[in-house]
Structure 1
Amino acid sequence: MELTGRLTADAQVSEVKGGKKVVNFSIAINDSYKPKDGERVELTTYVECAYWLNAKVGGYLKKGLLVQLNGRIGSRAWVNKDGDAKSYLTCNISHLKFLGGSTNSTAAKPGDSKGKGAPEDDDLPF
């Protein structure tokens, strides 16, 4: 399934048995509709995501970043101490694409520094 949403917080990288790393994060998917005789209704759906293919992307996944995901959707359900039914959606991600910058423009990005010997100006070399 394909999903597009914004990260609700910075991603967390954790290590599981066998030394394998997983990047965990949550996205918010915003939607709205207007009934014929009413005011616009805003809906937000939250999805808990797990990305197992490359833990290095965790450093780029910052709160507010717009991402497009492809993966397998699942759900978790339980009954809490008060007897209320609770649930949430999950996505085991197979493909991840960055669509837009974080709403926090000061977020640091890994690898932003220029390599040694890179030209400092925009002049063409000829």
Structure 2
Amino acid sequence: MAHLNGTVTKDAKVITTQNGKQFAAFDLVENMSYKDKDGKRVQKSFYYNCIYWIQPEKIAPYITKGTILSVQCNVVARAYTDSAGNAKASSTATIETIKFLGRRSKSLSTEEAPKLAATEKPETIAEPVDDLPF
């Protein structure tokens, strides 16, 4: 079980599987910073495709871009090669619990803006969800 603190990057959508089950899908970015061996500040961003199964139609309206969340989840990382032959990776977090921590202000300072764009979001791979054990 992992614990992530991050910011929602796009509004949650309720998706219905082929067998009629629903889940809320949204993306979360977790920003981390540290000083490297030379004393320079390094900013890293980790992106997660998130899935939440518990009453998705009720919670999805509250999971909007800029919402700051703390979640308990199971994370699955996957490596793949895109159509151009580049090695890529994606991380999917199946959320168990969500705690709302607040909202990011709509206007970012010039120092905050580069932090959000520190890395490019990996491509999302569409996978069938009808074989999930729920």
Query: TM-score normalized by structure 1?
Result: 0.77
Aligned residue for 1:57, secondary structure, equals: helix
**1:65, 1:103 within 8 Å by CA — same for their partners in 2?**
no
Structure 2: stretches of 5+ with no match in the other structure = 108-134
Q: Secondary structure at the match of 1:19?
A: coil
1:89 aligns to 2:91 (yes or no): yes
Q: In the TM superposition, what are the counterparts of 1:1-126 in structure 2 within 5 Å?
A: 1-55=2-56, 56-104=58-106
Query: Deviation string for 1:21-50 (max 9, x for gaps)?
Result: 110011110111112424211111101100
Structure 2 equivalent of residue 108 of structure 1 = none
Residue type at the aligned position of 1:21? Q
CA distance in 2 between partners of 1:39 and 1:102 (Å): 26
Q: Distance in 1 between matches of 2:76 and 2:63?
A: 22
In the alignment, the residues of structure 1 paired with residue 31 and residue 104 of structure 2 have an alpha-carbon distance, to the nearest angstrom, of 16
Counterpart of 1:28, as a letter, is V
Q: What is the letter of the counterpart of residue 12 of structure 1?
A: K
CA–CA separation in structure 2 for the residues paired with 1:25 and 1:67: 12
Q: What TM-score results when the alignment is normalised by the length of structure 2? A: 0.72
Instruction: Report how many aligned residue pairs link the two structures.
Output: 105
Amino acid at match of 1:79: T
Contact 1:63 1:104 in 2 (8 A): no
RMSD of equivalent CA atoms: 1.6
Q: Distance in 2 between matches of 1:80 and 1:101?
A: 34
2:116 counterpart residue number? none
Give the share of equivalent positions with the same residue, in percent: 36
Contact in 2 for aligned 1:48/1:91 (Cα 8 Å) = yes
Q: C-alpha displacement at 1:104, in angstroms? A: 4.1
| Structure whose CA Rg is larger | 1
